[in-house]
Structure 1
Amino acid sequence: MAKIHYKIVQHDGGWAYKLGDVFSESFPSHDAAVAAAKRVAQEQHVPGNAAYIEYQDEKGAWHTEYSAGDDRPDADVTG
């Protein structure tokens, strides 16, 4: 199972959660950003339907793979 970590950081005059190099929208307080990140992390645990997915990697190459829908990552919030 993959593990992902949402990190709470100062961003754009407020607070945001961040995954890798991607920021969420800004929130007016640290507590609001934590609440939003916890909500998003919980949603990562919800299984979906099996499907083929396409995504672009950091080098710009496109990939297609089968997602069983029940192979959800373990997500948490830090910061």
Structure 2
Amino acid sequence: MVKLTYHIVEHDGGWAYKLGDVYSEPFATSELALKAAKTAAAEQQVGGEDEEISFQDEKGNWHYEHAEGGDRPEVVVDEPHAS
């Protein structure tokens, strides 16, 4: 099972949640960013229908896969620590 971790970080003059190298929109406070990250994490847990997917990799090669709608990642939110 894949594990995803959202991190709460300072970004673009405010706070954001970050997954990998991708940032959310900025929020005025870390608390608002945390709330948004928890919402995004909860949405990651919602299953769907099985689908046939296709995607192109960085070398331009196409890949075709069957994605099971119930195959959801484990998602956690790394809450900032009060200082």
Q: TM-score, normalised by structure 2?
A: 0.84
> Which residue of structure 1 lines up, in the alignment, with residue 65 of structure 2?
65
**Which has the larger Rg?**
2
Q: Which residue of 1 aligns with 2:33?
A: 33
1:66 and 1:6 map into 2 onto residues whose CA distance is 26
Structure 2 CA distance, aligned partners of 1:6 and 1:64?
28
**2:5 corresponds to:** 5
Identity across matched positions, percent: 51
Q: TM-score, normalised by structure 1?
A: 0.88
Gaps of 5+ in 2: none
Higher mean C-alpha deviation, range 9-18 or range 46-55: 46-55
How far off its partner does 1:7 sit? 0.5
**Correspondence for 2:18:** 18
**Partner residue of 2:44?**
44
Q: How far off is 1:64 after superposition?
A: 2.6
Mapped to 2, the partners of 1:25 and 1:60 lie a distance apart of 29
User: Post-superposition shift, 1:3?
Assistant: 0.5
Task: Give aligned pairs, total.
Answer: 78
Shift of 1:60: 4.9
Return the alpha-carbon distance in structure 2 between the equivalents of residues 60 and 11 of structure 1.
31
Q: Which runs of 5+ in 1 are unaligned?
A: none
CA distance in 2, matches of 1:75, 1:38: 9
